[in-house]
Amino acid sequence: METRTFSDMINGPGPVLVDFSAEWCGPCRMMKPILEELKDDLGDKITIIKVDVDKNPAASGIYHITGVPTLVLFRNGKIEWRQSGVVPVSHLKQVIEKL
């Protein structure tokens, strides 16, 4: 199977939601079932990537991640939406459907 880089994934035509989080972060753990529900609802319409800011400090720096969880929605390599904190699945679906 071909290995795709982070850059390859966020530069694709479909929406890519990146969850910048950390293992020690309580609210980040709250996002896990929300993102699973979102993936169940939207299936192939969305790609969801989890990035641990402690293990990937370079990515955190590039996108100026100062708090976790921070969700960043990319399309064609551009940031379309960004929000920090726990975000309900209904709001995430609204944001993605507007793309």
Establish whether 25 is a catalytic residue.
yes
pLDDT tens, residue by residue, 57-88: 998 999 999 999 999 999 999 999 999 999 99
Which entry of 25, 49, 86, 95 is annotated as an active-site residue?
A: 25
What pLDDT was estimated at residue 99?
A: 82
What is the pLDDT at residue 3? Answer: 67
pLDDT in tens, 20-50: 999 999 999 999 999 999 999 999 999 999 9
Contact status, residue 86 vs residue 5, Cβ threshold 8 Å = no
Max Cα separation, the chain?
A: 34
The answer to whether residue 12 scores a pLDDT higher than 90 is no
Active-site residue, selected from the candidate residues 28, 34, 35, 53 = 28
Residue 2 has pLDDT above 60, yes or no: no
CA distances from 56 to 42, 79, 80 (A): 27, 19, 22
- CA dist 66 and 5 (Å) reads 23
- Give the C-alpha separation, 18 to 48, whole Å: 6
